[in-house]
Amino acid sequence: MSRTEPAVPPPPDRARVQEAAWWLSGRVVRTPVLNSPVIDRLAGARVLLKAENLQAGGSYKMRGAMLAVGRLAAAGHGGVVAQSTGNHAVAVALAARRHGLTATVVLPADAAQTKVARARAAGAEVVVAGTTLDERVATARQISETRGHPLIDAYDHPDVIAGQGSASLELIEEAERVGSPLDALVVPVGGAGGVAGACLAAAGTTIQVYGVEPVGCDSLARSLAAGRPTPVAPAPTIADGLRPTCVGELPFAIARDAIRGVVRVDDDQIADAFRLLLMELKVLVEPSGAAGLAGALRLAASLGDDVVDRPGAGPEGGRREEYRTVGVVLTGGNVEAELVARLATRQLADLTSVEEVAA
């Protein structure tokens, strides 16, 4: 690599998330915090939803990507490389274009086509590599070395964690501003960058942070139990963004002592949450993003089977039934039209019908 000025971001902490939020102000969308009486009634708590599906690029990944690419651009790099199941690739592509850098993004063969199209539309070179994380990482590393362009990891990266954490920080601050401070904060987990950022954003407060994982894609829950990053062979799920084989080293190091627990949700619960968000909140959220609300609804229902507390973070850490206000980060909204049509007309399976609930 010919560059003599490597850009090394500092290790992330709460101050770093605050700096990230400050730097990103005006560079990304200040997304609204939404709520719905019907969702509140279903949850038995006030649920404040940070609509990062309305973010530039369609997901909160834009935050970390802007921060990381901005730092590399300032250090004089001419291009960047990224691999992801989709949204991080779209975000890096857009962030690179905004900073005048080239972007090469490595996506799996089974990526959502809307994400592939969006990355291409943002001017990135799209490389398709197998269906597993290992295949993508190997390809991305090779491209990075050949071209001398740094690789921006989708979650194992301080800027990405701090950037994603700024969404949680804005939600925490907005909840305080409207007089409903958060008791709990729920974030979907893929590689755990977002939930690690949430842990940093909530550091020093009494807010309990939960991750949400699809059943069978529970690397974080297994990692917390084992005390180290533990891979899984991801099971099929409609939440295409939540399928990484293993949580990242750095996100795990942050979350392991800070997170309260993990909620497991199945596809039916994700689909119900998707439809609630669409028909009641009137926003389009991809299944990976809807998983956050699905988790919040399970959490509120206090169904012990679904919620796994981190070892050492027992009920003494605050009883769930006392949560008055729960924050949820709706992480993204990039979804295929065909899936929207299929999920929109699906009946609410195990939730009372909306009309009854609204009555």
Residues that bind a copy of itself (CB under 8 A): 32, 34, 53-54, 58, 114, 117-118, 120-123, 275, 278-279, 281-285, 333, 337-338, 340-342, 344-345, 354-355, 358-359
The residue (of 58 and 197) whose beta carbon lies closer to a copy of itself is 58
Query: What DSSP line would sit under 63-88, residue for residue?
Result: HHHHHHHHHHHHTT--EEEEE-SSHH
Spatial contact of 96 and 80, defined as CB atoms under 8 Å apart: yes
Residue 114 Cβ vs a copy of itself, minimum distance, rounded to whole Å = 8
Residue 73 Cβ vs a copy of itself, minimum distance, rounded to whole Å = 20
The residue (of 97 and 141) whose beta carbon lies closer to a copy of itself is 97
Residue 82 Cβ vs a copy of itself, minimum distance, rounded to whole Å = 19
The residue (of 7 and 339) whose beta carbon lies closer to a copy of itself is 339
Cα 242–243–249 angle (5° rounding)?
Answer: 85
DSSP β-bridge partners for residue 83: 106
Residue 142 Cβ vs a copy of itself, minimum distance, rounded to whole Å = 27
Q: How far is CA 171 from CA 71, 119, 176, 327, in A?
A: 25, 27, 9, 7
Spatial contact of 251 and 276, defined as CB atoms under 8 Å apart: no
Residue 181 Cβ vs a copy of itself, minimum distance, rounded to whole Å = 19
The residue (of 54 and 67) whose beta carbon lies closer to a copy of itself is 54
DSSP state of 321: G
Structure tokens at 303: 């169904």
The residue (of 122 and 133) whose beta carbon lies closer to a copy of itself is 122
**Burial class (CB within 10 angstroms; exposed 0-12, middle 13-18, buried 19+) of 296:** buried
Q: Which residue has the tokens 């971001």?
A: 9
The residue (of 38 and 127) whose beta carbon lies closer to a copy of itself is 38
Residue 151 Cβ vs a copy of itself, minimum distance, rounded to whole Å = 25
Task: At 258, give phi and psi (nearest 5°).
Answer: -115, -30
Structure tokens at 27: 């560079």
Answer positive or negative: Cα dihedral of 118, 119, 125, 126.
negative
> What is the C-alpha separation between 105 and 119, in angstroms, rounded?
8
The residue (of 38 and 215) whose beta carbon lies closer to a copy of itself is 38
Residue 83 Cβ vs a copy of itself, minimum distance, rounded to whole Å = 21
Q: Are strands 125-128 and 102-107 parallel, antiparallel or unpaired?
A: parallel
Residue 187 Cβ vs a copy of itself, minimum distance, rounded to whole Å = 19
The residue (of 62 and 162) whose beta carbon lies closer to a copy of itself is 62
Q: Give the list of residues 6+ apart from residue 241 with CB closer than 8 angstroms, or none.
A: 85, 86, 87, 188, 190, 286, 288, 289, 331, 332
Residue 54 Cβ vs a copy of itself, minimum distance, rounded to whole Å = 6
Amino acid at 63: R
The residue (of 322 and 338) whose beta carbon lies closer to a copy of itself is 338
